[in-house]
Amino acid sequence: MDRAVPTIIIAVVLLGVFTLMFRSWRKRSKRDSGTVAGYPVPSGTEMVLAVARGYYVATTPRDTPLERLFIPGLAFRARAEITATDAGVRLDLTGTGPVFVPTDAIELLTPATWAIDRVVETDGLVLLGWRLAPTPGATPEPGRSVDSYFRIIDPSDRARLVDAIRSIAAEATAPADRNESEV
Protein backbone atom coordinates (compact mmCIF):
# COMPACT_ATOMS: atom_id res chain seq x y z
CA MET A 1 0.00 0.00 0.00
CA ASP A 2 2.87 2.38 0.74
CA ARG A 3 3.97 2.23 -2.94
CA ALA A 4 0.53 2.37 -4.49
CA VAL A 5 -0.22 6.03 -3.70
CA PRO A 6 3.06 7.45 -5.15
CA THR A 7 2.67 5.20 -8.20
CA ILE A 8 -0.85 6.48 -8.83
CA ILE A 9 0.26 10.10 -8.38
CA ILE A 10 3.14 9.65 -10.84
CA ALA A 11 0.85 7.93 -13.36
CA VAL A 12 -1.72 10.75 -13.15
CA VAL A 13 0.98 13.42 -13.58
CA LEU A 14 2.48 11.61 -16.58
CA LEU A 15 -0.96 11.18 -18.14
CA GLY A 16 -1.58 14.91 -17.67
CA VAL A 17 1.76 15.82 -19.28
CA PHE A 18 1.14 13.55 -22.27
CA THR A 19 -2.39 14.91 -22.67
CA LEU A 20 -1.08 18.49 -22.73
CA MET A 21 1.62 17.55 -25.24
CA PHE A 22 -0.95 15.88 -27.50
CA ARG A 23 -3.31 18.88 -27.33
CA SER A 24 -0.49 21.31 -28.10
CA TRP A 25 0.68 19.29 -31.10
CA ARG A 26 -2.88 18.99 -32.43
CA LYS A 27 -3.47 22.72 -32.03
CA ARG A 28 -0.19 23.54 -33.79
CA SER A 29 -0.92 21.15 -36.67
CA LYS A 30 -4.41 22.62 -37.11
CA ARG A 31 -3.01 26.18 -37.05
CA ASP A 32 -0.42 25.50 -39.78
CA SER A 33 -2.36 22.97 -41.89
CA GLY A 34 -3.37 25.54 -44.53
CA THR A 35 0.18 26.72 -45.10
CA VAL A 36 1.90 25.48 -48.23
CA ALA A 37 5.48 24.25 -48.01
CA GLY A 38 7.46 25.99 -50.70
CA TYR A 39 6.52 27.01 -54.21
CA PRO A 40 5.64 25.04 -57.36
CA VAL A 41 8.59 22.90 -58.45
CA PRO A 42 10.03 24.03 -61.82
CA SER A 43 9.70 21.82 -64.88
CA GLY A 44 13.18 20.31 -64.49
CA THR A 45 15.09 22.43 -67.00
CA GLU A 46 17.08 24.28 -64.35
CA MET A 47 20.84 23.80 -64.05
CA VAL A 48 22.05 21.99 -60.90
CA LEU A 49 24.80 23.95 -59.13
CA ALA A 50 25.34 21.84 -56.00
CA VAL A 51 23.84 18.88 -54.15
CA ALA A 52 24.35 18.05 -50.47
CA ARG A 53 22.98 15.26 -48.32
CA GLY A 54 22.32 15.71 -44.65
CA TYR A 55 19.47 16.23 -42.23
CA TYR A 56 16.58 18.65 -42.18
CA VAL A 57 16.18 19.89 -38.59
CA ALA A 58 13.24 22.32 -38.40
CA THR A 59 11.46 25.34 -39.83
CA THR A 60 10.62 28.17 -37.44
CA PRO A 61 9.13 31.64 -37.79
CA ARG A 62 11.84 34.31 -38.17
CA ASP A 63 10.65 36.22 -35.11
CA THR A 64 10.06 33.14 -32.94
CA PRO A 65 13.06 30.80 -33.27
CA LEU A 66 11.91 28.38 -30.56
CA GLU A 67 8.53 27.62 -32.18
CA ARG A 68 8.45 24.80 -34.72
CA LEU A 69 6.04 25.28 -37.60
CA PHE A 70 3.87 22.29 -38.46
CA ILE A 71 3.81 22.97 -42.20
CA PRO A 72 2.90 19.81 -44.13
CA GLY A 73 6.12 18.54 -45.68
CA LEU A 74 8.35 20.44 -43.22
CA ALA A 75 6.92 19.40 -39.86
CA PHE A 76 9.36 16.66 -38.86
CA ARG A 77 13.09 16.05 -38.87
CA ALA A 78 14.23 13.92 -41.79
CA ARG A 79 17.12 12.92 -43.97
CA ALA A 80 17.43 15.46 -46.75
CA GLU A 81 18.96 16.08 -50.11
CA ILE A 82 19.37 19.81 -50.70
CA THR A 83 19.87 20.85 -54.33
CA ALA A 84 20.84 24.37 -55.39
CA THR A 85 19.82 25.16 -58.95
CA ASP A 86 19.89 28.35 -60.98
CA ALA A 87 16.16 28.73 -60.18
CA GLY A 88 16.35 28.20 -56.41
CA VAL A 89 16.77 25.53 -53.73
CA ARG A 90 15.00 22.18 -53.83
CA LEU A 91 14.54 20.19 -50.61
CA ASP A 92 13.92 16.47 -50.94
CA LEU A 93 13.04 15.18 -47.48
CA THR A 94 12.56 11.48 -46.79
CA GLY A 95 8.85 10.68 -46.57
CA THR A 96 7.56 13.88 -48.19
CA GLY A 97 7.32 15.47 -51.60
CA PRO A 98 9.88 17.99 -52.84
CA VAL A 99 9.82 21.53 -51.47
CA PHE A 100 11.09 24.30 -53.73
CA VAL A 101 12.26 27.76 -52.64
CA PRO A 102 12.87 30.13 -55.59
CA THR A 103 15.80 32.54 -55.54
CA ASP A 104 13.59 35.60 -55.05
CA ALA A 105 12.13 34.09 -51.84
CA ILE A 106 15.56 33.45 -50.26
CA GLU A 107 16.34 36.16 -47.72
CA LEU A 108 19.10 34.79 -45.52
CA LEU A 109 21.86 32.20 -45.54
CA THR A 110 24.03 31.88 -42.48
CA PRO A 111 25.64 29.28 -40.23
CA ALA A 112 23.88 28.46 -36.98
CA THR A 113 24.73 26.53 -33.84
CA TRP A 114 21.26 25.72 -32.54
CA ALA A 115 17.71 25.27 -33.68
CA ILE A 116 14.55 24.59 -31.70
CA ASP A 117 15.66 21.18 -30.39
CA ARG A 118 19.14 20.69 -31.78
CA VAL A 119 22.48 22.06 -30.55
CA VAL A 120 25.65 21.25 -32.47
CA GLU A 121 29.21 22.51 -32.69
CA THR A 122 29.73 26.16 -33.58
CA ASP A 123 28.29 26.85 -37.05
CA GLY A 124 27.31 23.19 -37.48
CA LEU A 125 23.93 24.02 -39.04
CA VAL A 126 23.01 25.92 -42.19
CA LEU A 127 20.15 28.39 -41.72
CA LEU A 128 18.20 29.14 -44.90
CA GLY A 129 15.86 32.09 -44.37
CA TRP A 130 13.03 32.42 -46.89
CA ARG A 131 9.49 33.72 -47.39
CA LEU A 132 6.52 31.37 -47.41
CA ALA A 133 4.50 31.19 -50.60
CA PRO A 134 1.46 33.47 -50.60
CA THR A 135 -1.54 31.34 -49.63
CA PRO A 136 -4.87 33.15 -49.20
CA GLY A 137 -6.32 32.72 -45.72
CA ALA A 138 -3.37 30.75 -44.35
CA THR A 139 -1.80 31.09 -40.94
CA PRO A 140 1.03 32.04 -40.64
CA GLU A 141 0.21 34.94 -42.91
CA PRO A 142 1.22 34.78 -46.58
CA GLY A 143 4.76 35.84 -47.31
CA ARG A 144 5.91 35.39 -43.72
CA SER A 145 9.65 34.96 -43.24
CA VAL A 146 10.76 31.60 -41.87
CA ASP A 147 14.09 29.91 -41.14
CA SER A 148 14.84 26.31 -42.13
CA TYR A 149 17.80 24.54 -40.52
CA PHE A 150 19.93 21.81 -42.08
CA ARG A 151 22.79 19.68 -40.80
CA ILE A 152 25.15 18.80 -43.65
CA ILE A 153 27.73 16.25 -42.60
CA ASP A 154 30.34 16.51 -45.37
CA PRO A 155 32.17 19.86 -45.07
CA SER A 156 33.01 19.97 -48.78
CA ASP A 157 29.35 19.41 -49.74
CA ARG A 158 28.36 22.11 -47.28
CA ALA A 159 30.85 24.60 -48.74
CA ARG A 160 29.72 23.88 -52.31
CA LEU A 161 26.05 24.24 -51.36
CA VAL A 162 26.55 27.51 -49.47
CA ASP A 163 28.62 28.95 -52.33
CA ALA A 164 25.98 27.90 -54.87
CA ILE A 165 23.12 29.44 -52.88
CA ARG A 166 25.09 32.65 -52.39
CA SER A 167 25.72 32.80 -56.15
CA ILE A 168 21.99 32.67 -56.97
CA ALA A 169 20.80 34.80 -54.04
CA ALA A 170 23.63 37.25 -53.42
CA GLU A 171 21.51 39.39 -51.09
CA ALA A 172 20.95 36.39 -48.80
CA THR A 173 24.03 36.86 -46.67
CA ALA A 174 24.20 36.88 -42.93
CA PRO A 175 23.81 40.35 -41.45
CA ALA A 176 26.96 41.40 -39.60
CA ASP A 177 25.07 42.22 -36.42
CA ARG A 178 23.01 39.01 -36.25
CA ASN A 179 23.72 36.92 -33.20
CA GLU A 180 21.50 33.87 -32.93
CA SER A 181 21.58 33.95 -29.13
CA GLU A 182 19.89 37.36 -29.30
CA VAL A 183 17.13 36.37 -31.73
* Residue 139 resides in a domain: yes
pLDDT tens per residue, range 113-154: 888 877 888 888 999 999 988 766 555 455 788 999 999 999
Domain that holds residue 4: 1-32
Give pLDDT, residue 135.
64
Same domain, 119 and 54: yes
Same domain, 164 and 84: yes
The domain tally of the chain equals 2
- Domain holding 63: CATH number? 2.30.29.30
Under 8 Å between Cβ of 69 and 146: yes
Across 64-68, 111-115, 140-144, 154-158, least confident range = 140-144
* Residue 160 resides in a domain: yes
DSSP state of 140: S
Give pLDDT, residue 45.
76
Give pLDDT, residue 181.
47
Which uninterrupted H or E stretch holds 43?
none
Same domain, 97 and 167: yes
Nearest to 49 by CA among 165, 142, 148: 165
DSSP state of 39: B
Same domain, 25 and 53: no
Which uninterrupted H or E stretch holds 68?
none
Same domain, 85 and 138: yes
- The rounded distance, in Å, linking the Cα atoms of 183 and 171 is 20
* Residue 39 resides in a domain: no
Output phi, psi for 68, to 5 deg.
-70, 135
